A and B are shown apart, each in its own frame.
With several copies, the nearest count.
Chain A
Amino acid sequence: MKKLLTIKPNTSLKNKTGSWRTHRPITNQEKCIGCSLCAKLCPEGCIEMININNKLKPQTDYDYCKGCGLCAHECPVKVIDMKEDY
């Protein structure tokens, strides 16, 4: 009988693309103004804005972050640093 051909939703979460990374974005939470831009632009969708002390701050999920540096490049206040990571 037919092999199941459909794929369950969101199963790519198993694919930890963090291993692709050669550089790691490090966010200076202090200086971050919480604009969310990094979170909105990240191609991986792996930055979540979370509430820290009543302020929205980005939290990067390194399991998936490929280290492209887009967030760092676009951060309006340049508070994300790309560090070598391999």
Chain B
Amino acid sequence: MKNTINKFLSPGHNACSGCGQLSAVQAVMRGLTSDTIIANATGCLEVTTTAYPQSSWGLPWIHSLFENASSVASGIKAALDKKGNKTTKVLVQAGDGGTYDIGLGLISGMWERGENILYICYDTESYSNTGIQASGSTPYGAATTTTPNGEKSIGSNQVKKDMLAIALAHGLKYVAQTAAGFPDDITNKVKKALTVSGPAYIQILSPCIPGWKINYNEAVMMGKLAVKTGLYPILEYINGSLISSSINNNFKPEPVSTYLKGQGRFKHLKDEEIKYIQNLANENIKKYSKV
């Protein structure tokens, strides 16, 4: 495979050394063709790839605001429709903050319109770009700068919002979840999602070096561990049915403690909380098992 150096996303960007999100983006790009337009929300990806007058992007790419990438994509789609252009794909890229929180209303509007747009959420489980504040995706127990651990705090006391369920509630034909560290899976899901007509949603767990307080070389390992513990299974829904899951016949879960103890954001957790999180994993394993 000659095309690992991807002309859709050139080197020279300013992301952290070892960034899990950028690793995932590379895999997404391999799933696209040059006949694609990208609308990107504010966040690490946008900030680190477009320091004027330099851009890493090789595809037509636009950033407007933090919360409106989905509506911007709808506008792009309408303009293409008006031109009678039926081939060009429209892709949204946003972080978990732009997806779970500030952008959710506009995403719902886009999904409601039923437009043929693929939405990709790079889930760093916090607002990485602004210094690791909690988002709706921040998992229970994680310390962030707005949910620090302390005398009266175990870190975030909210559980992660279930974006997949929300996407499914909108009747999306293609909904999937995967993680950095599974590059071929990511690429394949992107390709598949693009064949579906109507809105599609892919969420990719993207370990963040300062956010998770991990070493530069650990992003992929953490992505894999999240999957292996059952905390972040790889899932794929078509027309609302779960058609594939990493929680399958061969699934032998790792204990969540392996995952938690490797990350600075969880290092304050006591046994009790770890048990609670193990329970969340166990529930996932029940819910998403596809045997």
Contacts and interface: CB of A to CB of B under 8 A. Distances in A.
A and B touch in the complex (CB under 8 A): yes
Interface of A: 7-17, 20-21, 36-37, 39-51, 56, 61, 63-64, 66-70, 72-74, 82
Given A9-B57, A17-B13, A68-B18, A40 B27 contact: yes
A31 B213 CA distance: 32
Say whether chain B's binding surface is mostly helix, strand, loop, or mixed: loop
Interface in B3-18: 4-7, 9-15, 17-18
A45 B58 CA distance: 13
Given A45-B5, A74-B221, A20 B17 contact: yes
Kindly name the residue among A61, A74, A82 whose own CB sees the greatest number of chain B CB atoms within 10 A: A74
B282 interface: no
Contacts of B257: none
A36 B10 CA distance: 18
23 contacts: A9-B57, A10-B55, A10-B57, A11-B53, A11-B54, A17-B11, A17-B12, A40-B4, A40-B26, A40-B30, A41-B181, A42-B26, A43-B19, A43-B26, A44-B22, A45-B6, A45-B11, A64-B12, A67-B17, A68-B18, A69-B215, A69-B216, A70-B220
A15 B2 CA distance: 23
Contacts of B215: 69
